[in-house]
Amino acid sequence: MNSEERRAFVERNRTCVFGFERKKGPPSMSIVYYTMGGDDLLISTMAGRAKAKAVERLGEASICVLDEKWPLTYMLLYGKAQIERDLDLTCSVMMKVGEIMSGNEIPEAARPIVEDMAKREDRVVIRVTPESTFYSPPVHLNAGDDGSAMEHGYGKRLPWREG
């Protein structure tokens, strides 16, 4: 996959595993929805959640973008992460995520309700700016295939932007 194909993969999917280093114990992971803001992934969360606190503490995150069709493929992204506290951005991301979750457009008339929820839940946006990706070509076993021709290779870490 070249950089344009990797970006297209991230743009056409909307769920990912958000990974971060905890203060104690093994790394933490959670499934979240995301939207795009330019090259950045935007994730809505509550300021008091562990992932927001980790972003403030560490300034980085790992993302595993999940393909939304079967057979499952994925792409890992590594990058800088920061907390955005802008209420307008937070509401926009929440509305886009609501559209993803419901499969329906959220009318602009709902924005005051979303804004109230954002304030009540102390919502913020995690902005992840990818710096590199790790891509491993998918290997799948098809129906009727005995797997004898299947080959597994090594993936490789690639810069998010080439050149």
Q: What is the pLDDT of residue 108?
A: 95
Q: Alpha-carbon distance 45 to 32, whole Å? A: 9
Q: What is the pLDDT of residue 147?
A: 64
Q: Is residue 108 part of a domain?
A: no
- Flag whether pLDDT at 128 surpasses 70: yes
Q: Alpha-carbon distance 86 to 123, whole Å? A: 10
Q: Is residue 109 part of a domain?
A: no
Q: Alpha-carbon distance 143 to 145, whole Å? A: 5
Q: Is residue 25 part of a domain?
A: yes
Q: Is residue 66 part of a domain?
A: yes
Q: Alpha-carbon distance 7 to 5, whole Å? A: 5
Q: Alpha-carbon distance 106 to 91, whole Å? A: 11
CATH of the domain at 79: 2.30.110.10
Q: Is residue 43 part of a domain?
A: yes
Sole residue written with tokens 């008339």: 109
State in Å, rounded, how far the first CA of the chain is from the last one: 15
Q: Is residue 133 part of a domain?
A: yes
Q: Is residue 161 part of a domain?
A: no
83 CB contacts (<8 Å, ≥6 apart)?
A: 47, 52, 55, 56, 124, 125, 126, 127
- What domain count does the chain have? 1
- Structural domain that includes position 42: 3-85+123-137
Q: What is the pLDDT of residue 20?
A: 92
* pLDDT (tens digit per residue) in 53-71: 999 999 999 999 998 887 7
* pLDDT (tens digit per residue) in 3-35: 888 899 999 999 999 999 988 999 999 999 999
Q: What is the pLDDT of residue 136?
A: 66
Identity at 45, one-letter amino acid code: T
Q: What is the CA radius of gyration of the chain?
A: 18
Q: Is residue 145 part of a domain?
A: no
